[in-house]
Each structure stands twice: as C-alpha cells, then as structure tokens.
C-alpha cells in the first residue's frame, strides 16, 4: 500500500497515473490527477504541486503534452504498433502454452493506458489455439543460454520419445537457439554425431547443464570458420536435420520467385532459353518437402539424387491415393 505521508513519492505516483490513465484520446486535468492520487494512494496534493511535478517530469525528459483541456503522456517504452506486433507474435506462437502467452501479453500491454489495453482483449483467448503443453520452455531457454555461456553440454529427455535411437536422457553440445515459423529450435550436436541437429524446444523436458565441456563448434565439418546463423536458418527452411545441397529450381511462373525468396532468402535467379531458374543452397530434406508443397510453382532440376527422391515420394503418394 502506498504511503500517503511520503510526499517524495508523489512524482512516481503521478507518473504512474499518467501512464495508466492518459493518452492522446484521454486527457487528465490537474483536478482529475489529484482525485486519482487521493483515491489510489490516499495522498492529498494541491493542483499547484501537481503542475510543478508535471513540469519536473518534462524537464527530466518525459514527453507530456499539455493543453487547455488537460495533459497526457505521449512517449512510452513501446509504440502501440510495436506492442501490437509483439503481442500478435506471442499470441500466435504455438511454442508456449496459453497461460504463458497471457502472462507475456499482460507484460507487453502494461506499457499502454487502460483504455488501449481493451484493444488486446483477443489475447485472452490464447487457450483456443493449438499449443504446446510443455510448461518448461522458458526454463529450458534460460538453462540452455547459461550452458552456452559456460561452454557446457546440456542433457534432457525428449518428449517421452527416443531421440536418435537413444534411451532416457540425451546429452548434446548446444550452440544456438533459433525461432523459426513460431517454434523454438536448439541447434546442437548430439554425442557421437558429426553433423548439427535441430531439436524442438517445446519437446525438451527436465533439461540440466552437464559438467562436461561441449564440443567446439569449429571442430564440426562445415563450421571450421564458425556458423552464420542467418544463413543456416535460410538453408534449413523447416529446420530438419540432413545435409545441405546446392540446388537448381525451374520456376513455372514469374510470380513463383516470391515463394523462393520467402523461404530461402538469397537465391540467384537467371533465365535460360526463355525459362526462369533459381540456384540456392538448402537442407536436402527441407528442400524435398518444399518442392512437394510448392509443386505448382517450381520443379527441382538438380541435384539428380534429390530429384529422384522427390519422384519416388510422388510415386508412393500416387500409389497410396490410387489404393484408396
């Protein structure tokens, strides 16, 4: 409970009132501020003192707009558009459960006035989305980040399933966390492997920091000069674990270019004999799934072994459908 006798706190109370109850559409007069100050804090304050406090806040750097009809706090930690963007990202992410989404949304909207908070009422329907049931994701993120700082391995159980043929706990060397398509992934190397692997964070449980030093990233084939995480994310569009290949696609429509750019980032586009092609580097398994998904937009030309795998899958799918 605020102390009504500590007048030194009045500047903080008045700032809180301006944050909560004022915006460009809701101005506060000095009388209204005094009333809220008394009702919420039990503190009596003269209008002259409130005016002096507002001037002091302005001198300190707060952008408080004063008009003949009252005043309001104009500058905030986040613009409304920024909060909408961040809140929507939280709301749509399937990597966190409904309660965590609501808690994060409440923290974000705390920067808004009580009137603008009403615009985010849809966030409280977060449970209606399909979400993970794993409540440990934030703990896992914190623990993995700490393990990376300490240059240590982490161990965990993987969603009650076998992980790469192992039983019980799995030990990996962690390197990066990536948020891709609304899901968090850990880029790591599991013991005994020679290539990087991507693990869904919402499937990790009971994570712990091992006292074992992690395998240096530069000792992994292809990472001798480090790892460009943005390039890695672009190449691994679905963050599946397999080798990367240099591919050539034939685009079936001029507008097909946008789908290649959207998923793979930087690709080289060129024309041959009146046809449009794209060259890129991508995770082979992800590339196969992408070609199946966007078969009406592009056809894989090379590498031939990857193209043969797509044909095999298409024939298998065709056979299954004909069997139905």
> Digits of tens for pLDDT over the chain (324 positions)?
455 556 678 899 999 999 989 988 899 999 999 999 999 888 888 889 999 999 999 999 999 999 999 999 988 877 776 776 677 677 666 666 667 777 777 787 777 888 777 666 555 444 544 455 666 777 888 888 889 999 999 998 876 444 454 556 888 999 988 877 667 788 888 887 788 888 888 788 888 998 899 999 999 887 888 888 777 776 665 555 557 789 999 999 988 888 888 777 678 899 999 999 999 888 888 889 899 999 999 999 999 999 999 999 999 999 999 876
Helices assigned H by DSSP within the chain: 10-21, 30-41, 47-60, 80-92, 98-109, 137-150, 229-235, 257-264, 284-293, 304-323
232 falls within a domain? no
99 falls within a domain? yes
234 falls within a domain? no
Please list the residues that pair with 270 across neighbouring strands.
277
Please list the residues that pair with 118 across neighbouring strands.
none
β pairing state of 170-180 and 204-213: unpaired
Query: Is residue 51 located within the same domain as residue 122?
Result: no
174 falls within a domain? yes
Query: Is residue 221 located within the same domain as residue 250?
Result: no
173 falls within a domain? yes
50 falls within a domain? yes
- Tell me the CATH number at 268: 3.30.70
Helix axes 10-21, 47-60, angle to 10 degrees: 80
Q: Rounded distance, CA 261 to CA 253, Å?
A: 14
**Residue 119 belongs to what domain range?**
80-128
252 falls within a domain? yes
- Tell me the CATH number at 44: 1.10.10.10
Q: Rounded distance, CA 192 to CA 175, Å?
A: 16
Res 281: pLDDT? 86
CA neighbor of 54 nearest in space, from 14, 22, 5, 8: 14
State whether residue 3 is helix, strand or coil: coil
Contact between residue 103 and residue 114 where contact means Cβ atoms under 8 Å apart: no
Res 299: pLDDT? 94
Query: Is residue 251 located within the same domain as residue 286?
Result: yes
Q: Rounded distance, CA 310 to CA 95, Å?
A: 30
Query: Is residue 157 located within the same domain as residue 210?
Result: yes
For the record, the structure tokens of 151 come out as 């240059």
Res 162: pLDDT? 44
If one counts the domains in the chain, the total is 4
Contact between residue 125 and residue 88 where contact means Cβ atoms under 8 Å apart: no
Query: Is residue 177 located within the same domain as residue 95?
Result: no
Contact between residue 86 and residue 77 where contact means Cβ atoms under 8 Å apart: no
What is the CA 58 to chain-centroid distance, rounded?
35
Res 128: pLDDT? 47
Query: Is residue 101 located within the same domain as residue 62?
Result: no
Query: Is residue 110 located within the same domain as residue 161?
Result: no
Angle among Cα 165, 169, 170 to the nearest 5 degrees reads 60
């Amino acid at each position: 409970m605020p102390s009504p006798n500590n007048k030194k706190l009045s500047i903080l109370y008045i700032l809180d009132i301006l944050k909560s109850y004022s915006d460009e559409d809701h101005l506060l007069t000095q009388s209204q501020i005094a009333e809220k100050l008394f009702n919420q804090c039990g503190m009596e304050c003269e209008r002259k003192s409130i005016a002096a406090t507002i001037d002091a806040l302005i001198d300190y750097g707060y952008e408080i707009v004063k008009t003949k009809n009252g005043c309001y706090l104009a500058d905030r930690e986040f613009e409304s558009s920024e909060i909408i963007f961040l809140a929507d990202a939280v709301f749509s992410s399937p990597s966190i459960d409904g309660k965590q989404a609501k808690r994060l949304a409440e923290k974000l909207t705390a920067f808004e006035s009580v009137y603008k908070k009403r615009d985010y009422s849809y966030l409280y329907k977060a449970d209606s989305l399909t979400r993970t049931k794993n409540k440990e994701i934030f703990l896992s993120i914190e623990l993995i980040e700490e393990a990376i700082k300490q240059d240590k391995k982490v161990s965990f159980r993987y969603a009650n399933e076998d992980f790469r043929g192992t039983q019980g706990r799995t030990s990996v060397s962690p390197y990066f966390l990536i948020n891709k398509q609304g899901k968090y992934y850990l880029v790591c190397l599991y013991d005994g492997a020679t290539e990087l692997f991507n693990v869904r964070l919402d499937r990790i449980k009971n994570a712990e920091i091992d006292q074992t030093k992690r395998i240096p990233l530069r000792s992994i084939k292809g990472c001798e000069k480090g790892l460009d995480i943005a390039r890695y994310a672009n190449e691994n569009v679905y963050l599946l674990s397999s080798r990367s290949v240099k591919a050539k696609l034939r685009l079936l429509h001029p507008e097909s270019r946008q789908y290649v750019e959207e998923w793979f980032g930087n690709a080289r586009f060129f024309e041959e004999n009146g046809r449009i092609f794209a060259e890129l580097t991508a995770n082979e398994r992800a590339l196969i799934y992408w070609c199946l998904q966007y078969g009406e937009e592009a056809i894989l030309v090379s590498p031939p072994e990857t193209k043969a795998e797509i044909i095999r899958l298409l024939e298998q799918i065709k056979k299954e459908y004909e069997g139905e």
